[in-house]
Amino acid sequence: MLLPGLVSVTFRALSVPEVVALALDCRLKAVEWGGDVHVPLNDLVAAKDARQRCADAGLTVSSYGSYYRAGVTDPAAWDAVLATAVELGAPQVRVWAGNTGSATTSAGQRAVVVDAIRAAADAAEAAGVRVALEYHPDTLTDALDSATRLFAEVWHGSVVPYWQPGGAQDVADAVREVRALLPALTTAHVFSWGPGGWSDRLPLAAREDLWSPLLRELDRDGVDRFALLEFVADDSPAAFRADAATLLGWLSAAAA
């Protein structure tokens, strides 16, 4: 089953209670809490508050959206990341695989990133948490071949992939990427971009051609996964409400 939700950094200007209220109003099921504004690193009071507000509202905490860059961030910081995620009740922590693209990363630096991911995953596994690598430009998951190679290099049961589309992404390529990352893929960030990427945000409905087949792929095996809305036009709550209605409509049609 696909569980619709939101990425809290979509609305950095909103408070935690306002994010919870928006998610409820849009009939969503989950929230990924960001580590920059809503649940700052090592702020266990904020983590507990967000966890409790979600529990009271019947929302699932999908993940802790950290800004930990494996192989770049001081490994000593991982203890604080993990402690925050545990207090938040997050089953996974979103991290980035380095800070350089796969085509420009040396073999030595790639090995550093791999070792850092594996070390983080060992600690996370002991705490009952997974490490989720975001599918992101300028990291070692910026292309499918590098991403799949990275998971093979790390080879750890507590390391799982996220996925998100690129600007104006080709449908066949997107389906191929998602299929390659299944069944371990836990989360898709759901949004529609034009050719300009991040600065070219479209209504979600503009890429029904992309998301209809992707949602079918993501739900084909019946495993619970998160479909988290992000990057709405103009950072507008009104645009977000429209996108949420679109996503729920697609999910309802797929389940019918």
Q: Could you give the 3-state DSSP secondary structure of residue 239?
A: helix
Say whether 108 sits in a helix, a strand or coil. helix
Contacts of 108 (CB under 8 A, 6+ apart): none
pTM for this entry:
0.96
**pLDDT digits 0-9 by tens, 87-123:** 999 999 999 999 999 999 999 999 999 999 999 999 9
Q: What residue spans define the domains of the chain?
A: 2-255
The percent helix, strand, coil of the chain (3-state, each to 5) is 50, 20, 35
Q: CA–CA separation, 216 vs 175, rounded Å?
A: 10
Question: What pLDDT shows up at residue 196?
Answer: 84
- pLDDT digits 0-9 by tens, 244-254: 999 999 998 87
pLDDT tens-digit map of 208-237: 999 999 999 999 999 999 999 999 999 999
Q: Which helix or strand (DSSP H or E) is residue 16 part of?
A: helix 16-25
Between CA 227 and CA 247 the distance in angstroms is 9
Mean pLDDT (the chain) is: 96
Question: What fold is seen in the domain 2-255?
Answer: TIM Barrel (3.20.20)
153 vs 198 pLDDT, higher one: 153
Using one digit for the tens of pLDDT, what is the confidence trace for 43-99? 999 999 999 999 999 999 999 999 999 999 999 999 999 999 999 999 999 999 999
pLDDT at 256: 65
10 Å Cβ neighbour count for 152? 9
